[in-house]
Structures are given as structure tokens and as C-alpha cells.
Structure 1
């Protein structure tokens, strides 16, 4: 936990277990935002509640993969009331987030083939609540470009570890001047532009984290994994899954 003078949040982690919680505590975090890949909202909520405590607030979220596997654009949504599937159009996802009055974050903008482009952020600037300006997967040019984008559009920044590995949790985080007791308070602060600062450390650990996370990204992006996960059409967050009751069939890309 932090010393109480600020509230420290790792705004995007993909993994959650006892090791992650311990790592978060050692990093002095007060909260993490848990948004695993390809996991439906009820399961994300269940697991977040299981690991949330007075010492560490775990906030459930969905990083929705919009577009096709080869050109997917990730959008991070907090405060969703109803599940939203992956692999629907960006326009449809944004419309659904707005309908649910979700808090919308732009993670790792203009990074590889998995992000909102600069043009996308400009197009949706009126509904995006914050833009990520640092995470360990970024190269320096990505961080510079993202920071310039937030300044141009006057959008609040945020940072995260984007941890796919427990050891990455807390390597960077967002520190708020206010403190929060509940998930709703934190989500509202992100949406309302409450004062915050981005915190990260350089050095050997940062380099190890970047190397490890980029190696994991290479594995994650193999076509074999994509085929196994989605083209069968039966995975939990596939838009044609029975759980979505056909609501997204007309905007599904697969």
C-alpha cells in the first residue's frame, strides 16, 4: 500500500493470482484494474471480487478487441453493466460503451497492430476519458507520441504495467492526489479527469520487463493461437456466442 498521500493504480493488468497481489503490495499499489483477454465480464467480476481486499482494490474491466485479428484495436472499458464481445467493429463497441455510460480508456495508442491509431483517438476524443502515455511494452517513440497526443487533445493521461506476467505488475502506475474507497469512486475519477501523475522507473528492471513482455506479445500474436481461440466460433467472448443472444451478430467481423 502507498503511504496515504496518494492513491496508486496499475490501470491495466491481464493476470490475477496470489503472486500478482503480493507483487502489487510490494510495489505500494492501492488498486489494479484487471482486464484479462478473452474472458467474459461476469467471470472477470467474480475473480476481481475474490482477490479484492482492504489492502488492494481490484477493479474489473474489459479490454475489447475490436476489428479483425490482423488489425484489431483494443479499447479498455470500465464500469460496464453488460458484457461486450470481442471482434466487433470499433464503431459498434464505442456505441455500446457510450450506451452503458462506461469509462473509456485508450491503451497503448498507435502500438503495433493492436491499438487505436492517432486518427481513431482524434475521432473519438469526445468519448475517450484518458490515453495511456507509458507502459513497458512501449518503445520510447511510442511514449513520446502518446504524450503528444494527450497534450494536443487535452485528454488526461494514465499509465499501467500492461502486465501479462506477474513480475511486471507495478513497474509503472498512475498516482492520484485523491484517495478512493470503492471501484465506483476510482472509475469516476478516471472519467472526470481528477489530477494524477504517471510514475515509472527506468533501469535494469524496466529493461527486463520490456524484454519479457515483448517476448510474450510475440507468442500471443501467433496465428495458431488466433485460430485456436476464435475461428472456431465457440469462445466465451466471440460475438456469436450464445451468451450474447444474437445482439452483436450484425456488427461481428467473424
Structure 2
């Protein structure tokens, strides 16, 4: 199943030749590559490496705001300058607004890793789009996300949120125009450009959703503990030389 228009899988965590092949096979025109704890310059380099005339790989940053216990994820597209993880949500939103980046809220209210209703209301004027479907969501997660979008009047998006290669292209949105680089996609989100949301159906989709949900347990337990506690300072920590001390006033660690 594909759709007319310019199809974008808005949130992908993995990138290699297999991901590119699968995205093309699923009818995607672009994917947003936004891995955790990876510097913007490295994301851009990888995105450029895997882009071609058939598929645009657009760099994005899913920012890990706040502390481990009170973390909130924010997806930014169209950044001009790098923004670290582990700073306050307020400082993150201010910086994204200063840079005029598109601000997307992945998996709202999902577990303890994203913005809740009150936080979405607080930053409604800054947020450009709210995710209302991804394969990790359970049905009540999708319903709750749609309710928040209706309450706030914020536009919506769907994505595969793919941590596994096989999930790429399971959910996407389709614009009525080409948005084949970070600036164009950011402008489309900021302007509330017309879009339609899609996801695949059937047993294969159910099976892939189950695989992604199973992967979630590892990703949010040992995987992050290993990165945060055992591997030293993250390259996206505000103490890293790349940030030149600009975020010392708002870092949480």
C-alpha cells in the first residue's frame, strides 16, 4: 500500500543500505533519520551518504530533555546549530524557537518518555505537530494522542518510529508537495501544510508492531543504562566541547 503525494516516514532510528531499500520498496520519498545521542553533524553526514535521487534522507534530532527520571523527548527538524541532550525542557523549547526549527512531539504521554497533556498545552504555541500513530503505540495511546491534538488544535503526524529495519515505512504521512530536505520539511510543518496520515494493516503490521514493542524493553532499560552510565560522557552532553559551554546554565547533569 502506498499513497499519492510526497511520502515521508517522519521518524527513523536506523540507517543503512537495507533501510534505504526497504523505504523505497514501501513507496517512501523521504525518511527522517533521528537517532538518539548522536551529534547533528554526524547525523547530517550519514543522511547525505544514504540520500539519492529516489530517497531523501533528512537529518533530525530527537532531543532527550530533562533528567533520566523525568525525561521528555522532542523531535526537531531544520536545526541550524547543534542542541545538546540533558538540558531542561524549557531551555530546549526556547532554543528550537530561536532557531525557527520545526518542533514535533513524538509519542505524547507514552510511558514516561514524552510530553504530557499539560506540557503540550504549555508549549502549544511552539509545537508544530503531534504524533498520533506509531507502531509502538497501543490503541489507547493513539486515542489519547488524537484527543490532545483536538484539544490543542495542533496538526498531527504518523511515523514508523523504527528502531528495527523491518519497521521502516510501516507508518508515514503524505504531503501535497515535495519536501526533500530539512528546510523544506521544517517549513511544511511550521506552515501546517496539508497532509494525510497512513499506516499499513494486516498480520505483517501486527507482527512488526510486536517486534518493536519487544525491542522497547531493551532500549529503555539496559540499552540506555549502558550508554548513560557505562560509556562515559555522551557526545550530545552539554559539557561536550561542541557546545562551547552555551548550555551550562540549563544542563541537568
Q: CA deviation at 1:180?
A: 3.4
Which deviates further from its counterpart, 208-217 or 224-233? 224-233
* Map of 1:103 onto structure 2: 102
Separation in 1 of the partners of 2:252 and 2:156? 30
* Map of 1:135 onto structure 2: 134
**Cα distance, 1:95–1:233 mapped onto 2, change above 3 Å:** farther
* Map of 2:64 onto structure 1: 65
Secondary structure of 2:86's aligned partner: coil
* Map of 2:227 onto structure 1: 229
Separation in 1 of the partners of 2:204 and 2:5? 24
* Map of 2:168 onto structure 1: 169
Question: For structure 2, which runs of at least 5 residues remain unmatched after alignment?
Answer: none
TM-score normalized by the length of structure 1? 0.94
Separation in 2 of the partners of 1:87 and 1:56? 32
Q: CA deviation at 1:181?
A: 4.5
Deviations 1:79-115 (A, max 9, x none): 1111111111100100111111111001110001111
Q: Aligned ranges for residues 41-120 of structure 1 at < 5 Å?
A: 41-120=40-119
Separation in 2 of the partners of 1:176 and 1:242? 38
Deviations 1:111-140 (A, max 9, x none): 011111111111100010010010000000
Separation in 2 of the partners of 1:230 and 1:95? 25
- Do the aligned partners of 1:15 and 1:165 also contact (CA within 8 Å) in 2? yes
Q: CA deviation at 1:242?
A: 2.1
Which deviates further from its counterpart, 227-236 or 25-34? 227-236
Q: Aligned ranges for residues 146-185 of structure 1 at < 5 Å?
A: 146-185=145-184
- Do the aligned partners of 2:77 and 2:182 also contact (CA within 8 Å) in 1? no
Separation in 1 of the partners of 2:80 and 2:244? 16
Q: CA deviation at 1:59?
A: 0.7
Which deviates further from its counterpart, 226-235 or 68-77? 226-235
* Map of 2:187 onto structure 1: 188
Alignment coverage as a number of residue pairs: 252
Separation in 2 of the partners of 1:225 and 1:14? 14
Question: Quick check: 1:216 aligned with 2:239?
Answer: no
Separation in 1 of the partners of 2:180 and 2:71? 34
Separation in 2 of the partners of 1:179 and 1:62? 21
Q: CA deviation at 1:210?
A: 1.6
- Do the aligned partners of 1:40 and 1:83 also contact (CA within 8 Å) in 2? yes
Deviations 1:31-76 (A, max 9, x none): 0011001100000000001111110011101000001112210000
Secondary structure of 1:193's aligned partner: coil
TM-score normalized by the length of structure 2? 0.95
Cα RMSD between the aligned structures? Answer: 1.6
Separation in 1 of the partners of 2:224 and 2:26? 33
